[in-house]
């Protein structure tokens, strides 16, 4: 099944789309640091099953616009992008799917616009309701290290580190958070050394690629970030506290549409309380031996889970 590409205007930005198939609309929202390409296996599988699968380069990534102002990357902007995209694609409803940072976009799209999104699929990151305090105030830090999301807050710091060698950075991030590395205890650490350290540890040789990540895959990611830089994706993290403020009116709100959650058991996630805030969670699947890059590490199992869930929504692919 051929993957086609085009650019549309949505929510005031130009957004690049990769799409395949025809039928009920399924949107696929990627996370950090990725692109539409992280859904390459799902685009064809969904299309072959009779769905219109659309994977955008999200705001700040790839061939999509990268607004300069940091406050243009709030969750309300990101949700607005996909809400308007449904209309631009000529549909009134869709199922929204998200992985990593794309998962909060998907969960909040379903939370804020259940009239548009009749189902939601979250990969790797569960829905987390608004907490009682500003998120950055409770992120871990010690005299010697700080949580990576705190490290990302200062504009220019993480950009300088990651952009020094995009291929090396992407190899270490993708391999480091994969199931093989996490199992061996050499995975990407959530804590960043305060003095002389960075998000990725370059003290050892570049890691060998696992079977799910080819040299061609790595080359695609490296070329994209060499061209665009990492600032767009990092700006999502710089809105964490702003998102908390903007979503104050939705404190205690639950995601009420049918939902599916899929994660790897070697990822640093938990979904133990997901059913209490997502009352129509159809299934929560933990993939044995899988790390953070769920749909890339285990495409066959993720595809099967997604298609099974879509069938429960009563879709009749056309």
Write out the catalytic residue numbers: 100, 292
Of 199, 202, 203, 180, the C-alpha closest to 188 is 199
Alpha-carbon gap, residue 198 to 27, rounded angstroms? 33
Indicate left, alpha or beta for 286 from its phi (over 0: left) and psi (-120 to 50: alpha): beta
| Whole-number Å distance between alpha carbons of 105 and 60 | 14
- CB–CB of 58/64 below 8 Å? yes
The rounded distance, in Å, linking the Cα atoms of 317 and 3 is 18
Calpha distance 85→71 (Å, rounded): 20
- CA end-to-end span of the chain, whole Å? 16
**What are the beta bridge partners of residue 79?**
none
Q: How many residues make up the chain in this entry? A: 318
Instruction: HSE, CB side, 13 Å, CA atoms: give it for residue 24.
Output: 18
d(CA 167, CA 207): 12
């Amino acid at each position: 099944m051929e993957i086609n590409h085009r650019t549309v205007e949505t929510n005031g930005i130009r957004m690049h789309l990769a799409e395949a198939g025809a039928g009920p609309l399924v949107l696929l929202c990627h996370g950090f640091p990725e692109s539409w390409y992280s859904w390459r296996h799902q685009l064809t599988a969904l299309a072959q099953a009779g769905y219109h699968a659309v994977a955008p380069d999200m705001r700040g990534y790839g061939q999509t616009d990268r607004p300069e102002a940091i406050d243009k990357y709030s969750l309300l902007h990101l949700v607005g992008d996909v809400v308007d995209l449904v209309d631009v694609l000529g549909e009134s409803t869709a199922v929204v799917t998200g992985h990593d940072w794309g998962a909060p976009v998907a969960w909040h799209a379903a939370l804020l616009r259940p009239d548009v999104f009749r189902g939601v699929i979250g990969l790797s990151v569960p829905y987390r309701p608004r907490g009682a305090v500003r998120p950055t105030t409770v992120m871990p830090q010690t005299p010697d290290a700080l949580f990576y999301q705190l490290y990302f807050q200062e504009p220019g710091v993480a950009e300088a580190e990651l952009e020094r060698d995009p291929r090396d950075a992407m190899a270490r991030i993708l391999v480091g958070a994969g199931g093989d590395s996490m199992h061996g205890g050499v995975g990407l650490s959530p804590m960043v050394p305060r003095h002389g350290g960075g998000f990725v540890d370059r003290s050892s040789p570049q890691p060998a690629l696992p079977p799910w990540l080819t040299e061609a895959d790595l080359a695609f990611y490296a070329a994209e970030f060499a061209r665009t830089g990492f600032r767009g994706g990092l700006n999502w993290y710089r809105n964490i506290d702003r998102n908390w403020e903007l979503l104050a009116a939705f404190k205690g709100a639950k995601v009420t549409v049918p939902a599916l959650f899929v994660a790897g058991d070697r990822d640093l996630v938990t979904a133990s309380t997901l059913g209490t805030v997502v009352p129509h969670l159809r299934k929560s699947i933990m993939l044995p031996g899988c790390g953070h890059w769920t749909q890339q590490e285990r495409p066959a199992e993720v595809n099967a889970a997604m298609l099974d869930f879509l069938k429960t929504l009563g879709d009749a692919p056309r």
